[in-house]
Amino acid sequence: MYAQLVETGVKRVKDLAEMTPEERAFQERIDAEIKIEPKNWMPDAYRQTLIRQISQHAHSEIVGMLPEGNWLTRAPTLKRKLQLMAKIQDEAGHGMYLYSAMETLGADRDTEIAKLHSGRAKYSSIFNYPTLNWADMGAVGWLVDGAAIVNQVVLQRTSYGPYARAMIRICKEESFHQRQGYEILLTMMRHGTQAQQDMVQDAINRLWWPALMMFGPSDADSPNSAQSLAWKIKRMGNDELRQRFIDQTVPQLEFLGCTAPDPDLKWSAARGHYDFGQIDWQEFYEVLKGNGPCNRERITTRRKALEDGQWVREAAVAHAAKRQQKQSTA
């Protein structure tokens, strides 16, 4: 999930009898699965929750360019280089698409980006892990985009229309990236040397748990989930999505001929699901707080890009004004 912990600011979900007529009409519309559109009335907390979630999602796309960008200059073949460039370009596009969706709620892109750069807005914890070998490009595509897709496929039915439509478009491209990522790993496992196979297993060992953390805290520790589910911003609980991801990913892992760094991972015939080990929640919350391996580098890079580029943006604005003036006097 690219927005794994979103405050709703709501302590308790109201029932219909407690609501104002406006709130009740809104909730009935939600319950009837009619999409909320930008000009419709909506509770302020719904608006703010969505701004937080969509901006987190957008920030994640943009910060998520960095771990992959780290290997862009070192991609090993022309084909892999072209694939990676296309993928990162798509991510920039997804970010812009999501910022547009967010702006339909009355939020301002620059303001929300400033919050990201000052540490007041979050992005997905996964992008705070370093990419240390080429197999990470495959593992990010397969596991990270895979986790994102499991989440985003469900969000195609989220109650806010512009967000749902963004998810439909984004999922199409993400699925393509995920298959490419898996193909990178499969090539290295099937046709690669021992050193390459070791890279693949090493990448999986490092990214497996961080990918599972993308679904956010366990439902029991997710106080915001109830309201987000009632508003149908979220459509499924964190644990359910995480389980779905594991169930579909373990067979792919086995097909690769790799293992997960989880001794407790095993099929449970009784549940019809894979059982898996305990996530290190302390690590999760620390990374989210800014104390992960790359948090500082990621934000510094983004902030520096914006600061270094300020004179460029100012020049573009000044030139546009001059051009407009020329046109109006001509």
Supply the angle between the helices 295-308 and 44-63 in degrees, to the nearest 10: 90
Interface pick for another protein out of 6, 50, 66, 230 (rule CB under 8 A): 66
Range 304-323, binding another protein (CB under 8 A): 304-306, 308-316, 318-320, 322
Q: Which of 43, 37, 54, 70 has its CA nearest to residue 107?
A: 54
Range 91-120, binding another protein (CB under 8 A): 92-93, 95-96, 99
Q: Which of 156, 182, 154 has its CA nearest to residue 168?
A: 156
Residue placing its CB nearer to another protein in the complex, 34 or 316: 316
Residue placing its CB nearer to another protein in the complex, 99 or 276: 99
177 binds another protein (CB under 8 A): no
Residues forming a β-bridge with 185: none
**Strand, coil or helix: what is 60?**
helix
What's the closest the beta carbon of residue 292 comes to another protein, in angstroms?
Answer: 18
Rounded alpha-carbon distances, angstroms, from residue 40 to 22, 26, 145, 160: 11, 9, 32, 10
Interface pick for another protein out of 72, 154, 164, 229 (rule CB under 8 A): 72
Residue placing its CB nearer to another protein in the complex, 19 or 306: 306
Interface pick for another protein out of 10, 51, 62, 258 (rule CB under 8 A): 62
User: d(Cα 11, Cα 17) in Å, to the nearest integer?
Assistant: 17
For residue 17, the one-letter residue type is A
Write out the H or E segment, with its range, that includes residue 267. Answer: strand 266-268
300 binds another protein (CB under 8 A): no
> Footprint of another protein on this chain (CB under 8 A)?
62, 65-66, 69, 72-82, 85-86, 88-89, 92-93, 95-96, 99, 134, 184, 187-188, 191-193, 195-196, 301-302, 304-306, 308-316, 318-320, 322
